[in-house]
Structure 1
């Protein structure tokens, strides 16, 4: 028999009645500090690059963009490893990417080599910035309908590294726009190529299936050691060459798929179209 709350001899106390009547409180939704701290650090790298370019310190500007790229690659991994993913973090990451890999490279390139070309210079910088925005918007809307092993178009950090790497290489070699006027036109070509490649359908390998917990062949570890040694020997040349190769790898993969008669585009606009099999997990 259940106890009667009105019976004085009952085991029910006033505090028990208050506890039953009190509404259940939902857990408070907060913001995770650790992954957002990496995102803010990446945002600072892009902002730092803009400030350095405004002060004529272009080598520091290029280094700031590369540091932002490294930090941006860590925030998502840290969030997944610690179980701190959030919708806020995803939006924050996109806004940070737009500054660090959209606006910053365009403004740095404009300050260094494009502003003396007049309309051609600022148009090239704007095309890059606009393509970065389009690429990020497309990435956010196609997350659920795309093969996660590949990026659709050149990822914005790699595009920024291509622009910043070319600038860093020229500055390290002691080249200036005044002594080498062709640098301005070369930067126009690199900026337009990086920007337009971001909005192509070419598949670029994402490295998302690479796991630190998975066993790998011994030869791969040796290759990583050689890569680290190569980059550390002369970062401007090595990084620029590395991202040049990566920026054309997507077109090579696209041509390979076409040659084999396979579906070359990664985009899927609907989950029930027959030729989109394999794109939906």
Structure 2
């Protein structure tokens, strides 16, 4: 079952790329967020069923690379970067999945289970990058380029982000997640703008929290060393 959820994640990533290629970046973005839920569900299912394995870990990383690395980069490229010079548009687009691959590789070789993530997790970075495509008419392209660059660098940074590895959802929580999947699917058609604005806020706050915490700790350490 966990591997089926992981393959579902991968499948949504591929479909998202196809939709973006056909200028349906809104639905492509929605599928990235459905995949985020599946990405969380496969890890939970593996722990619950005691079937964690190296095979599942590698398969999960490969799926994440497509769904949260390649797909969001392609979505934003189609939405905002395709008219830029190839050196700039393609360069920034390629950098994101490259940094995502480095982030996943580092995660796979980490020893032990930590209570935090080192570097911005790729599902968060990918979800936020895909969401930026929705605001392409409201945000200058130079800001979108800077945001893509920042998210890429945050993934390979040493900044610590809160982890949820001790989160053990109940059966009721699983049903709530399934309900959220249905709401996301329907909301994407009926209330597209409101839905994406709602999704943007928690992701942005998560990214900002890690960055600001890092800055505060760095400032405190510098004061202590003086």
TM-score range normalised by the length of the shorter chain: 0.7 to 0.9
Which of 195, 200, 217 is matched with 2:152 structurally?
A: 195
- Hey, what does 2:210 align to over in structure 1? 250
Report which structure shows greater RCO (CA 8 Å, sep ≥6): 2
Is this contact kept in 2: 1:153–1:197, CA < 8 A? yes
Describe the SS at the equivalent of 1:204: strand
- Structure 2 residue aligned with 1:240, among 197, 200, 215? 200
Is residue 117–residue 184 contact of structure 1 (8 Å, CA) maintained in 2?
Answer: no
Structure 2 residue aligned with 1:153? 119
Unaligned segments of structure 1, at least 5 residues: 1-33, 214-227, 263-281
Comparing both structures, which one devotes a greater share of its residues to helix?
A: 2
Backbone CA RMSD of aligned residues: 2.1
Q: Is contact 2:76-2:132 (8 Å) kept?
A: no
Q: Give the TM-score, by structure 1 length.
A: 0.67
Sort the Cα spacing of 1:152 and 1:80 in 2 relative to 1 into closer, same or farther, 3 A: same
Distance 2:124 2:111 in 1: 19
Aligned pair 1:63/2:30, yes or no? Answer: yes
5+ residue gaps, structure 2: 171-182
For residues 27-54 of structure 1, the C-alpha deviation after alignment (integer angstroms, 9 at most, x for no partner) is xxxxxxx000000000011111100001
Runs of 4+ in 1 over 6 A off after TM superposition: none
Which of residues 94, 100, 104 in structure 1 aligns to 2:71?
104
Q: Against the structure 1 CA distance between its residues 261 and 75, is the aligned structure 2 distance closer, same or farther, given a 3 Å change threshold?
A: same
> TM-score, with normalisation over the residues of structure 2?
0.82
Larger radius of gyration: 1
Deviation at 1:260, TM superposition (A): 4.6
**d(CA) in 2 for partners of 1:143, 1:93:** 17
